[in-house]
Homo-oligomer: A and B are copies of this chain.
Amino acid sequence: MTISVVLAEDQGMVLGAFAALLRLEPDLDVVATATDGHKALAAVLEHDPDVLVTDVEMPGISGLDVAAALRRDGHRARVVIVTTFARSGYLRRAMDSGVAGYVLKDAPIDQLVGVVRRVHAGERVVDPQLAMAAWDSADPMTDRERDVLRLAADGLPNGEIAARLHLAEGTVRNYLSTAITKLGVRNRIEAARLARDRGWL
């Protein structure tokens, strides 16, 4: 019995390479591919595959959002996330979204096929060293601090951030200040870098 797979990845060349590779496995059947989150979701609904293999960072909606949507609708497809960086925040959100597997693009290629099979067999598979890292790095920021930092990271000045969030400018400064302190950095730029690297934005 073959395992049907939908594959989503925004870089066409990588998508093509992964697809070609999975097709070499006799027990796997790549029934569709997609280059963004919306198309991935549509492809899953249309083809009802056993497994969805998806990148996190894609144009439009992310792979994590697709996983959350499938879980909400009670869809049977099991989701494997394949991503570039070991961002522990992503892993946490992935777990909350009921993702079944989490693999790094740094890993050897054989892992991908193996994880697809194990996930289809009912296991939940996470890169072990990544699972460790997720524990001791919980996001210390509050929702408001995250909102403000997200906008600050795009280069918006405080005044504009305040306008968008309907806050006083002093309030925006204060949230940024607490975020900077909590993260142990010197200014908004370093705060944004650190938070992004950890997957907290």
A-side residues, CB < 8 A to B, are: 10-18, 20-21, 24, 82, 84, 103-112, 152-155, 157, 185-190, 192-193
> Chain B's nearest CB lies how many Å from the CB of A69?
25
Considering the chains assembled together, what is the distance between the CA atoms of A17 and B22 in angstroms?
A: 10
Contacts of A21 on B, CB cut-off 8 Å? Answer: 16-17, 20-21
Give this chain's copy count.
2
Q: Which of B11, B24, B157, B188 contacts A186 (CB 8 A)?
A: B157
| B157/A105 in contact, CB under 8 A | no
Considering the chains assembled together, what is the distance between the CA atoms of A88 and B143 in angstroms?
A: 37
Contacts of A16 on B, CB cut-off 8 Å? Answer: 21, 108-110
With A21-B20, A24-B20 known as contacts, the answer to whether A105 contacts B187 (CB < 8 A) is no
| B185/A155 in contact, CB under 8 A | yes
Contacts of A14 on B, CB cut-off 8 Å? Answer: 14, 17, 105
| A82/B112 in contact, CB under 8 A | no
| B155/A13 in contact, CB under 8 A | no
Considering the chains assembled together, what is the distance between the CA atoms of A155 and B107 in angstroms?
A: 31
| A105/B13 in contact, CB under 8 A | yes
